Chains A and B, each alone.
Chain A
């Protein structure tokens, strides 16, 4: 062999290749983590604004001449309009007045109506109240739509912007905490749209989902892990579970539509059906996690129980299952978190309708958190972008809480044998 066995130049090249290779790995991880950061960095500032809403302080005269004895049909909006006119007495002419009235939301009327409903004594008095500004004013006040467009291309005209600035200077317009977002259902008016309806819908859906998938999943896991003899039957079940775990979620929606809605005639848009479909989807997750948890319980526990005279079932239900519970719960919470974020199958069974009322039970028409986000993302109004991002923040907050509790549960109760 004439070529030297050890060539320093060659070695340098090889070491450079080594460093390059390492760098690729670091770059890949760095990029992936950057994406993660970017996701949160782009959502938080966009959604944060929706937790505040621009309101206008008005001296409302509850004039019995306008609202009579305070029935629901009375023109409460007019009270707010009159109060606004008092701040800008120089505004005259129908066109200008209409522009002025556009500053306040239609929700202002409801607000005043609710006030009268709660206490009829306010009729005839004057109250200084914060009422909702319209979504266009809100967007302007938050700086989401600028003045730089030509007047013709803007929703707000110059004169309206002047009014807004006057109100802001006198402290009669400010952004206040938007409790409506957490207490109301959906609305066509962005400033009145809330996430509570969707949260309730998600709650009912998850309740059904958990009530079905947890017992079924745990029982199935017990059978497969503790009692099933190895054979074609248990193999077949196992193949089924593994494949179900990878079936696209929308296919479960088709199943729900064809079987639960069309064949069994269950109600459309109901959390009941949504919960059943999501339960079928999360079942594989729960079974796989429960089996792993059962598997980690050492055989000595079973043997000890059997030796002391327990039947096989007693051994499993009284001794093995309690020891495996933390692991099972962790898996179930993770499964529920997946179900909470799932929207595609719910679209198929009609949980995507526009629903204003808060659902009261399992068969009321409802929507779910992620579907609400989808509906808002599809809405053309600029103000809904903010609502969408805020809805996402709420959804992510729930997911973080669920996953954290799963991790804590595991940390606290996990036993090493």
Chain B
């Protein structure tokens, strides 16, 4: 069956299969091109109506355009700053939950935990990342937010029912495993000789970790944080369900803020006319989101690669 009498024919078949393989692997490139083109194309149409400077630096976001289509110049204002601020606020809250918890969990798992404990705890933590985001959204909107509101009222704070805090806290829990998993891998990749050197010089394990292992693993840890932050920035369902719609420019985590992803969803669900700046602005927001997360990812992947080359 393996013997082919006609070697020329066999070569042709091999060639054809090889090209099929190559074509399949170009899908990834095509997808990237598709994303960039579709976002860019619609965004350019948007920037024809709204100057790019107004979009990037405007302080007012109210995409509701004129009620009658013949009203000229009554278009809403498309300043993205309140959305970026809201996204940053919620992501910051999420990171202040996930960064310490994830990092300490990773340190413990990599340096202290027994093999058995590791094999139980690590998958358990990863369940957190496997739970669909819509579930976290439900928890944030219907359980955490009312709790915060009730708690805040008792302490005399005015807490919005769509507070940034509720969405941020829940999102933080979701991204714990992103920090812990990658940090754990990186910490374990630090060569054993460094540890033995530190212990041999009389340091305690904590000192060894703090003064030798962590500095050595720092690039990897930073990139795990960047990846987690990029995930938080792009996260959609939690904020759609638990954060607000009103674009408030505030740093108060007890108030409602809105995010880039929330606005994309609200602008594009329901009826849409494809020529209004209102709909097109969603693509400009998408482009912004894509660029920010891409930069974070590229930096993170670069740093990890450098780190691995250093020790491998």
Contacts and interface: CB of A to CB of B under 8 A. Distances in A.
Contacts of A72: none
* Chain B, interface SS category: helix
B101 interface: yes
Interface in A219-269: 219-220, 222-224, 227-228, 236-237, 240-244, 246-252, 254-255, 257-259, 262-263
B107 A220 contact: no
B101 A32 contact: yes
A244 B2 contact: no
Interface stretch (A88-96, A105-113, A339-347, A409-417): A339-347
Contacts of B20: 219
B114 interface: no
A240 B286 contact: no
A217 B31 CA distance: 13
Contacts of B14: 311-313
B49 interface: no
A222 B17 CA distance: 11
Nearest to A242: B301
Interface string B123-160: 01101101111110111011100000000000000000
A340 B133 CA distance: 11
Nearest to A348: B268
Contacts of A255: 31, 34-35, 38-39
B29 A237 contact: yes
A169 interface: no
Highest count of chain A CB atoms <10 Å: which of B21, B102, B207, B297: B21
Contact of A246 (B31, B230, B274): B230
Given A254-B282, A309-B2, A341 B134 contact: yes
Nearest to B283: A254
Nearest to A312: B14
A89 B29 CA distance: 74
B225 interface: no
B32 interface: yes
B290 A314 contact: no
B6 interface: no
Contact of A343 (B2, B32, B104, B132): B132
Contacts of A280: 27, 31
A241 B27 CA distance: 9
A244 B31 contact: yes
A316 to B, nearest CB: 9
B38 A254 contact: yes
B108 to A, nearest CB: 3
Contacts of B42: 258
A309 B5 CA distance: 12
Interface string B154-178: 0000000000000000000100100
B308 to A, nearest CB: 13
Contacts of B104: 24-25, 27-29
A344 B31 contact: no
Interface stretch (B52-60, B66-74, B232-240): B232-240
Nearest to B41: A258
B108 A29 contact: yes
Contacts of B227: 246
B39 A254 contact: yes
A36 B128 contact: yes
A35 B175 CA distance: 12
Given A240-B32, A309-B2, A262 B25 contact: no
Interface string B62-103: 000000000000000000000000000000000000001111
Interface stretch (A127-135, A146-154, A387-395): A387-395
Contacts of A243: 32, 294, 297-298, 301
A241 B17 CA distance: 22
B101 A28 contact: yes
A344 B265 contact: yes
A371 B132 CA distance: 11
Question: 8 closest pairs, A vs B, by CB?
Answer: A248-B234, A25-B108, A341-B132, A258-B38, A28-B104, A219-B24, A223-B21, A220-B25
Interface of B: 2-4, 10, 13-14, 17-18, 20-22, 24-29, 31-32, 34-35, 38-39, 41-42, 100-105, 107-109, 112, 121, 124-125, 127-128, 130-135, 137-139, 141-143, 173, 176, 180, 204-207, 209-210, 227, 230-231, 233-237, 240-241, 261, 264-265, 268-269, 274, 282-283, 286, 289-290, 293-294, 297-298, 301
18 contacts: A18-B207, A24-B108, A32-B101, A223-B21, A247-B290, A249-B236, A250-B236, A251-B289, A255-B39, A283-B28, A287-B25, A313-B13, A373-B135, A373-B138, A374-B134, A377-B142, A388-B142, A392-B134
Given A27-B104, A314-B2, 13 more contacts: A25-B104, A217-B24, A220-B27, A220-B28, A250-B286, A250-B289, A259-B38, A262-B274, A280-B27, A313-B14, A374-B137, A377-B138, A377-B141
